[in-house]
A = this chain, B = another copy of it.
């Protein structure tokens, strides 16, 4: 597969949902060096939400990236660009400096379909500040066609650079990806597309490759798949498969052995049965995450019964 693709590694941002963003500065510096050496185009260093608009608890600094702090961490930019994600209603636009004063190159806006208009407003603001922008439409497996069509109309008229297909629940199969990507390509001919997959059914890499082969440009991934619940498409798998001489898997293998294996021994993500169940049922993984934090964490059948019985189903 010839590669005109761009890999966006979101280990720190999506992986932060697993360890409460408790990555050391050294870890993040090491990862930036690693991704740079691997030829990965973008590294997402965290969320750019505002601590004023969101309970912060004891979250690590990557949940609310501070520009001065970031400058302390990333002393020298490489060819690997930096991005941050914001959520509707949780970002204070006054926290964001113009791109030329920032280490960030790209700001990504995540929203549900009902908030696309608000998302596009933020996109417009960040676009005018000089940033590359993306709109990441979450939970597409729960979206009705008419709502999606309406959103596409608004997106077409916005300056957003990249529009993402996000499989929040890890429930999409390759034929779903074929369908969604074709639709996005037809309705958004002037936009680049992106994919952000979850691995609940071991389909994150396969789905990402389906998108890549159809011409989707931006491919989200994380090292060793680290991300919420079942995690993401693995950066090392994408890097080893896209035909582009600049990609090198070796630095990633090194990083995984040194950094990710010890981390995976402390916190969990990946193909874990309760996440497979929510993927299969096309549901948010929150009940499965709660189960994994309980003494019943391996009582899969009771969990499955609760989730599928009309009387006892969790409030969805």
CA distance A96 to B313 in the complex (A): 51
A152 interfacial by beta-carbon distance below 8 Å: no
A206 interfacial by beta-carbon distance below 8 Å: yes
A237 touches B301 (CB 8 A): no
> Which of A21-29, A136-144, A246-254 touches B?
A246-254
Quick one: which of B203, B241, B277 contacts A173, CB cutoff 8 A? B241
Say what secondary structure dominates the interface of chain A.
helix
A276 interfacial by beta-carbon distance below 8 Å: yes
Quick one: which of B202, B210, B261, B301 contacts A257, CB cutoff 8 A? B301
How many interface residues does A have (CB within 8 Å)?
35
A38 interfacial by beta-carbon distance below 8 Å: no
Copies of this protein, total: 2
Q: Which residue of B lies closest to A210 (CB)?
A: B174
A314 / chain B contacts, CB cutoff of 8 Å: none
A174 / chain B contacts, CB cutoff of 8 Å: 174, 206, 209-210
A/B interface sample: 29 pairs, CB < 8 A: A174-B174, A174-B206, A199-B202, A201-B205, A201-B237, A201-B241, A202-B202, A202-B237, A203-B205, A203-B206, A205-B206, A236-B273, A236-B276, A240-B280, A241-B280, A250-B301, A250-B304, A253-B277, A253-B301, A253-B304, A254-B300, A254-B301, A256-B273, A256-B300, A257-B273, A257-B300, A257-B301, A261-B298, A270-B271
